[in-house]
Amino acid sequence: MLSQSLRFRTGSRLLSKRNAVSQLRTLIAAPKPGSGPLMSRRSDRALPSIRGTNRWLRTLPAFLLIVTASTFAIFNYQKSSSSVVSSTLYALRTNADAREALGDEVYFASKVPWIRGELNQLHGRINISFWVKGTKAKGLMRFRSERKTRMGYFETLEWSLTMEDGRTLQLLRPQSSSPLPQVIDDNIMREATV
């Protein structure tokens, strides 16, 4: 009887150890290179070691450079597609003095124009300059306009063309505050006076 009780106790100890071992799950190491694909993974597997924690320090300057260049390119594209730039370029094409100096086919000097200066229509401040070229020459066009009151009109203060040789053409006529040509139809004037 004593031997049976010893056997039972020993057996129960063995049973309890087996239950404890089966309840504990061993950790499985991450697969090593060349060991083949791992078809299933347990949720309590060992995590892979982190080799280089400062790898991002090498790529951060490149990332910041790309983001900064993209930001400048986006804002420059916004300026170059603005109605102010399109209108001043049109006015430059139709201006007799500018056509005489630049020649025909007046357009931006480069394929990707860089518009310098401030183009803030909301607060009434426009001060831009960009390079233009024609069939004869190349020059820097400057345009500056301000709106003094919130609901007022823009007043053009400067519209000039500086050629590569250094001479400056003042394109703004003293009697006009708009660089766009004033075309008035006689029929419209007659209807307005009647």
DSSP annotation of 34: T
Rounded distance, CA 131 to CA 141, Å? 6
pLDDT in tens, the chain (194 residues): 445 444 444 444 544 555 554 555 666 676 777 777 666 666 677 777 777 667 778 889 999 999 999 999 999 999 999 999 999 999 999 998 999 999 989 999 999 899 999 999 999 999 999 999 999 999 999 999 999 998 889 999 999 999 999 889 998 876 655 555 555 444 444 444 44
Domain boundaries of the chain, sorted by first residue: 77-184
Identify the residue whose tokens are 């790309």.
66
pTM over 0.75: no
Rounded distance, CA 132 to CA 117, Å? 15
Rounded distance, CA 24 to CA 95, Å? 88
Side chain identity, residue 147? R
For Cα atoms 84, 174, 137, give the angle at the middle one, nearest 5 degrees.
60
| Bridge partners, residue 155, by sequence | 146
Q: Are 69 and 52 in contact (CB under 8 A)?
A: no
**Looking at residue 113, what is its pLDDT?**
92
Fold of 77-184: Nuclear Transport Factor 2; Chain: A, (3.10.450)
Rounded distance, CA 116 to CA 128, Å? 6
Rounded distance, CA 157 to CA 177, Å? 8
| Bridge partners, residue 163, by sequence | 139
Q: Are 139 and 129 in contact (CB under 8 A)?
A: no
**Looking at residue 49, what is its pLDDT?**
76
**Looking at residue 191, what is its pLDDT?**
46
